[in-house]
Amino acid sequence: MTFAHPYFLLLLLLLPFLAWLKGKRGSPPAFLYSSVKLVEGLTNIRRSRAGLFLAALRWLMFAILIFALAQPRLSKSTTEVKASGIDIVVALDLSGSMNTPDYVVQAQRISRFNIAKTVLEKFIDARPNDRLGLIVFAVQAFIASPLTLDHDFLIENLGRLQIGTINADATAIGDGLATALNQLRDLKAKSKIIVLMTDGGNNSGKIDPLTAAGAAQALGVKIYTIGLGNAEIVQQMGLPAGYLPDEDLLGKIAGMTGGKFYRANNAEQLQEIYGEINRLEKSEAVINKYNEFKELFPWFIAGGLALLLIEIILAQTIFRKLP
């Protein structure tokens, strides 16, 4: 058991002195006599101990209430949370073109979206001390997970995402960046980062991507941009140019904010890109300790009040004294 305010316990030292002082002064007489001869026949009457008992209850009550003031509590558990001071929000494209199967893993065609999810999950596992959040965007942008150190929760939400979870008919890069920026703008982290993954150009939304990048620059938020899609396989599939990322736009966004633009033509490159971002954005971990307490002071207050009530009842009933 510990005390939140142990200095209140010093008041216990006053109780013996106050009890001695009160005992020295004595209680006022119940009767006044003009002569002791009037009570000569009462000299053999035994002195009652009721007053001592009631006084003991009163001082015990004061002692218990002093304990309550010191706020006793039991420590239930201690949790250590390591935080690097780096906050990262990933903005993931969820438009229909992300279903294009132009990545090859072990001789199997994998869609851009599925490879992005796999690599992102590994990145999350590699950053246990960072607060991470996830934004998804297509026609509109949505928060899939707020910034959190609970990475199991983040990965669970990532696993639930599929193309078509939101309207996938277009790509609102500017809205995705602005939504990610809103997660970071009021935070005091020493490093704030957005990782943007997309496979196309901006063709929807209310906010221009460069306007969002300018806001990020003003707020000190660095943006890393990753262009997804294998140009050779897209050509073989006969798909239009809109199925490839707007490299010029992504390069400008990264350049304005002090970040870097990456082009991921295959799964190996995408893995290497996240490995490089992981190396670039490192910081010493800060360890925060949190104690969970079970407060006991309500029980002490209840006990003190119960003793006070008992004293009052006894003083007015079986231990009642003459006025």
DSSP summary character for residue 278: H
Q: Report residue 181: phi and psi, to 5°.
A: -65, -35
pLDDT of residue 141: 96
The Cα–Cα gap between 2 and 158 comes to 42
**pTM for the full predicted model:** 0.65
Q: Using DSSP, state whether 141 is helix, strand or coil.
A: strand
Give the closest residue to 138 by CA, choosing from 179, 110, 87: 179
Distance in angstroms (rounded) separating the CA atoms of residues 267 and 107: 12
SS3 assignment, position 287: strand
Enter the tokens of residue 85: 């001071």
Question: Distance between CA atoms of 241 and 231, rounded to whole angstroms?
Answer: 9
Give the helix ranges, DSSP H, for 168-321: 173-184, 209-219, 231-236, 247-257, 267-280, 297-316
Distance between CA atoms of residues 94 and 199, nearest Å: 10
Tokens at 91, concatenated: 């903005």
**Strand, coil or helix: 146:** strand
31-53 residue pLDDT tens: 555 555 555 555 555 555 656 77
Per residue in 86-139, pLDDT tens? Answer: 899 999 999 999 999 999 998 899 999 999 999 999 999 998 888 999 999 999
* Whole-number pLDDT of residue 136: 97
Look at residues 260, 307, 272, 310 and name the one whose alpha carbon lies nearest to residue 63: 307
| Residue with more model confidence, 157 or 321 | 157
- 251-310: pLDDT as tens digits: 999 999 999 999 999 999 999 999 999 888 876 656 566 667 778 778 878 887 887 788
Cβ neighbours for 196, distance < 8 A, ≥ 6 positions apart: 91, 173, 176, 177, 180, 223, 224, 225, 226, 250, 253
**Contacts of residue 201, Cβ cutoff 8 Å, sequence gap at least 6:** 171, 173, 242, 245, 246, 249
pLDDT band at 190 (very low <50, low <70, confident <90, very high): confident
Please tell me the distance from the alpha carbon of residue 72 to that of residue 91, in angstroms, as a whole number.
47
pLDDT in tens, 228-268: 999 999 999 999 988 999 999 999 999 999 999 999 999 99
Q: How many CA within 13 A on the CB side of residue 161?
A: 33
Instruction: State the DSSP H helix or E strand holding residue 115, giving kind and residue range, or none if neither.
Output: helix 112-125
Residue 279 half-sphere exposure toward CB, CA atoms < 13 A: 5
pLDDT category at 316 given cuts 50, 70, 90 is: confident
What pLDDT does 175 receive? 97
What is the Cα gyration radius of the chain? 37
pLDDT tens column, 55-76: 777 778 888 888 788 888 877 6
Amino acid code (one letter) for 289: K
